Structure 1
Amino acid sequence: MLQALGLSPAEEAVYTAMLVRPSASAGELALQAGIAEAESDRILRDLAARGLVVAVNPGGGNDGPPPTCYRLTPPSVALAPLLAEQRNALHLAETAFSKLTEQYRTTAAHTAGGVVEVVVGVEQVAHRFLQLQRGAQRELLVFLVGEPIAVPREDTDTSESSALERGVDFRVVADKEYLAGHEVVQDVREAVAAGLVLRLADSLPLKMVVSDRERAMVPLDMTESGGEPSAIVVHPSGLLTALVHLFEREWAQGRPMFTTGAGAHDEPASDQQPAAEELEVLALLLAGFSDRRAASELGLSIRTVERRVRRLMDLSGVESRLQLGWHAARVGWL
């Protein structure tokens, strides 16, 4: 965490080691920090020059005077100037960011009205897409359709994880055919477990990602024409508002998937409540999947799918799958 204040990982290791050894030599700290003594000595001399530590009883060691020991300067005194420098640097960066953004918008206003920018090429599309996901601070709205073209799924998974760790509200509507394969289903289940909220639609008109309702990205060509991937990035405008409304409409009509409902849990089901894996089966069936297709997507046998459905029907006290769907909606299982 001290790297944000300009300390290297090795310097941070030595510095934090001194928190439990108020006075120690380079050799002692090297052992505790897991580095060579020469490296520890160099780091301590550098920290002393920056006022973070103070040398006491300077000596030479071996057969001469005892080795030099160091003690920490109180962090509230030593680290405060570093924190102030970082704050000032951040303020300057934010000012530069605002100026560059305004300059770009002014320039773009003479071309496409500042509303859209066109991005062409695999690398450019992938870079812009990841920028939108990694730059989100509050909310991400996503339509998932078809196979990834410009951005590998593993890169998307990494940026999703980063957004969820930042506490971003992450909502996704997926085309039913997107869940084509056990590997995809497993990735989606892990993302949902991490906080992503997923709903399923029979079909979606386009791929899309909306970041903080300030920018959106939409592919220009959904066909398999063989040309270079291209997309438009939409900035604040009536078009962006329309895309957000389109997402909210599909979200309202979508069916929840892989959620942990009011009675669901990851442990084995009790006599009164369904287990999470049973509700996963139910969610796929309500999305229009056959027993065989649901079994394939979840990596189960058809018998297991049928057994879980039968268990849910018994739990609900219903006699048909249609009644089971109504019951699940009424009690909030999905």
Structure 2
Amino acid sequence: MLQALGLGPAEEAVYTALLARPTASAQDLARQTGLEKAETTRILLDLATRGLVAVATEAGSGAPDSADCGAGRQPARYRLTPPSVALAPLLVEQRNALHRAETAFSMLTEQYRSTAAHPAGSVVEVVVGVEQVAHRFHQLQRGAQRELLVFLVGAPIAVPREEADVSESSALDRGVDFRVVAAKDYLDGHEVARDVREAMMAGLELRLVDSLPLKMVVSDRERAMVPLDMADSGGEPSAIVVHRSGLLTALVHLFEKEWAQARPLYNTTTGVRAEATADQQPTEGELEVLALLLAGISDRRAASQLGLSIRTVERRTRRLMDLAGADSRLQLGWHAARAGWL
């Protein structure tokens, strides 16, 4: 946690160990963290220089440990400077660094587009080879902040399914809206079915169609990736990365059209092939959210209790209301009681 603010692992260990104590000596903290006393002392002195800790002014306490060599002198004891005061400058510094990085990113992106060797180079980029295709795929999924739109068809080629699952889980944990349209034969196989059930429980929305024209992933409606036929690249996996353009808009429209016509899957308890019916049942994860909402708990508090993002709670609530045909949460509660959901 504190490494994000510029503290190293050993510094964070000492800092968090001191967090649980009013005061402590270097020897106390060395025993607790497993570090050498000399290293612990050095870290404490460095943290003191940075204003994160201070020497406690208790009766009988002396100067810092490096000076504790006289007879009868007690080892120095340290205390934390209030984190709200000491860590605030570090947080501001990190925010400023992130802002500078975002500015540089925008400038480099625009410069790349404006200086591309060919006008099409700023719109479509060709990526060839397993490593390059996999790298770009993970960039798109891990870089998404708001939304991922995915077509799934055929067996994975460049990105193994287990690696795709890791990127998928990361996006769901961040609260990214994740919608998938899959060709119905993609879900053949027990392992795939199990992974899909777990992803749906985490908030992924999945619909089925008989067939799809292509495989693709769209990230935040700003970038998309579409695999190419390997016969056109000497037998190597290849893909095009599409940036903001009329072509990207067309791919998004294609996704929305297929999504609207696809068959929703809601029943992740009995199996991923359970298609939409008049008596659709909510998933276990949705029922957990429903129980907290009917108890009067806010979305934010429900998210905290369930270890979910607030967007995931809102998405599950919206799905429950769609299943119930409800226009309000009061109607949702009435339908839940009538349908025996709880």
Which string of whole-angstrom CA distances, capped at 9 and with x for unpartnered residues, describes residues 59-115 of structure 1?
Answer: 537964211211222223322221222122112111111110111111237341622
TM-superposed deviation, 1:256: 1.7
- The equivalent of 2:269 in structure 1 is 277
- The equivalent of 1:26 in structure 2 is 26
Q: Are residues 171 and 62 of structure 1, via their aligned partners in 2, closer, same or farther at CA, if it must alter by over 3 Å?
A: farther
- The equivalent of 1:156 in structure 2 is 164
What's the TM-score once normalised by structure 2's chain length? 0.73
Q: Match of 1:81, as an amino acid?
A: P
Q: Are residues 147 and 279 of structure 1, via their aligned partners in 2, closer, same or farther at CA, if it must alter by over 3 Å?
A: closer
Alpha-carbon separation, structure 2, partners of 1:178 and 1:251: 16
Alpha-carbon separation, structure 2, partners of 1:70 and 1:240: 58
- The equivalent of 2:46 in structure 1 is 46
Q: Match of 1:201, as an amino acid?
A: V
Tell me the secondary structure at the aligned position of residue 85 of structure 2.
Answer: helix
Report the more deviating stretch, 190-199 or 54-63: 54-63
TM-superposed deviation, 1:279: 6.2
Count, aligned residues: 275
TM-superposed deviation, 1:39: 3.2
- The equivalent of 1:197 in structure 2 is 205
2:150 to 128, 132, 142: 142
- The equivalent of 1:303 in structure 2 is none
Alpha-carbon separation, structure 2, partners of 1:180 and 1:62: 76
Unaligned runs of 5+ residues in structure 2 are 57-61, 279-321, 326-338
Q: Match of 1:28, as an amino acid?
A: D
Q: Match of 1:282, as an amino acid?
A: A
Alpha-carbon separation, structure 2, partners of 1:254 and 1:122: 31
Tell me the secondary structure at the aligned position of residue 122 of structure 2.
Answer: coil
Report the more deviating stretch, 94-103 or 77-86: 77-86
Alpha-carbon separation, structure 1, partners of 2:246 and 2:142: 24
- The equivalent of 1:293 in structure 2 is none
Query: 2:53, 2:78 within 8 Å by CA — same for their partners in 1?
Result: yes
- The answer to whether residue 97 in structure 2 is matched with residue 105 in structure 1 is no
2:193 to 185, 202, 219: 185
Unaligned runs of 5+ residues in structure 1 are 261-275, 287-328
Tell me the secondary structure at the aligned position of residue 283 of structure 1.
Answer: coil
Q: What is the correspondence of 1:280-319 to structure 2 with a 5 Å cutoff? A: 280=272, 282-283=274-275
2:255 to 237, 247, 250: 247
Q: Match of 1:98, as an amino acid?
A: S
Which string of whole-angstrom CA distances, capped at 9 and with x for unpartnered residues, describes residues 5-24 of structure 1?
Answer: 10122212221222231221
Q: Are residues 229 and 284 of structure 1, via their aligned partners in 2, closer, same or farther at CA, if it must alter by over 3 Å?
A: farther
Tell me the secondary structure at the aligned position of residue 275 of structure 2.
Answer: helix
Alpha-carbon separation, structure 2, partners of 1:283 and 1:218: 28
Which string of whole-angstrom CA distances, capped at 9 and with x for unpartnered residues, describes residues 21-45 of structure 1?
Answer: 1221012123333444333222212
Query: 1:206, 1:222 within 8 Å by CA — same for their partners in 2?
Result: no
- The equivalent of 1:310 in structure 2 is none
- The equivalent of 1:273 in structure 2 is none
Q: Match of 2:151, as an amino acid?
A: F
| Consecutive aligned runs of 4 or more in structure 1 exceeding 4 Å deviation | 61-64, 222-226, 329-333
Query: 2:196, 2:272 within 8 Å by CA — same for their partners in 1?
Result: no
Query: 1:120, 1:230 within 8 Å by CA — same for their partners in 2?
Result: yes
Give identity over the alignment, percent.
73
Alpha-carbon separation, structure 1, partners of 2:6 and 2:269: 47
Tell me the secondary structure at the aligned position of residue 108 of structure 1.
Answer: coil
Tell me the secondary structure at the aligned position of residue 83 of structure 1.
Answer: helix
TM-superposed deviation, 1:280: 4.4
- The equivalent of 1:123 in structure 2 is 131
Which string of whole-angstrom CA distances, capped at 9 and with x for unpartnered residues, describes residues 275-306 of structure 1?
Answer: x53464633999xxxxxxxxxxxxxxxxxxxx
TM-superposed deviation, 1:164: 0.3
Tell me the secondary structure at the aligned position of residue 44 of structure 1.
Answer: helix
Tell me the secondary structure at the aligned position of residue 88 of structure 1.
Answer: helix
Tell me the secondary structure at the aligned position of residue 269 of structure 2.
Answer: helix
Which string of whole-angstrom CA distances, capped at 9 and with x for unpartnered residues, describes residues 194-241 of structure 1?
Answer: 111111111111100000111111011166997011111111111111
- The equivalent of 2:37 in structure 1 is 37
Tell me the secondary structure at the aligned position of residue 54 of structure 1.
Answer: strand
Aligned-residue CA RMSD (Å): 2.7
- The answer to whether residue 69 in structure 2 is matched with residue 77 in structure 1 is no
Which string of whole-angstrom CA distances, capped at 9 and with x for unpartnered residues, describes residues 153-173 of structure 1?
Answer: 111111000000110000001
Tell me the secondary structure at the aligned position of residue 130 of structure 1.
Answer: helix
TM-superposed deviation, 1:144: 0.6
- The answer to whether residue 239 in structure 2 is matched with residue 231 in structure 1 is yes
